[in-house]
A = this chain, B = another copy of it.
């Protein structure tokens, strides 16, 4: 795996941590968002795994790289397989056309990153 791609993923993870610390003290709106996030991905009528796959599809559609990193990691933690991640990417491609095929490249790298780890 290309070192630049690994560095990019690890910078995203570090930046998220830094931002959470900053906004946790600076913004009540951000803290309120975190509570909404927790409620959203809890086990429910849809399993956490499948909720994470929904969020992954939206992340690719929205081309949000940090979201892809987060929702692929959490989907894998909740038991998703490599093939499930790839099919969720497929749904995003059907919904997002050309730009979604580009966004999928980062999802591919994240997948490789967590499988090599």
Contact = CB atoms under 8 A, between A and B. Distances in A.
Interface of A: 4, 11, 15-16, 18-19, 22-23, 26-30, 32-33, 35-37, 39-41, 44-46, 50-51, 53-59, 61-67, 81, 83-84, 86-102, 104-105, 108
Copies in the complex: 6
Contact of A98 (B27, B53, B84, B95): B95
Given A29-B39, A101-B30, A55 B91 contact: yes
Contact of A62 (B32, B40, B59, B61): B61
A26 B111 CA distance: 13
A94 B50 contact: no
28 contacts: A19-B101, A23-B86, A27-B89, A27-B90, A27-B93, A28-B39, A29-B36, A29-B40, A32-B32, A32-B36, A36-B93, A36-B94, A37-B98, A46-B84, A53-B54, A54-B54, A55-B91, A55-B95, A57-B57, A57-B58, A58-B91, A58-B95, A59-B98, A63-B63, A67-B98, A95-B98, A96-B96, A97-B97
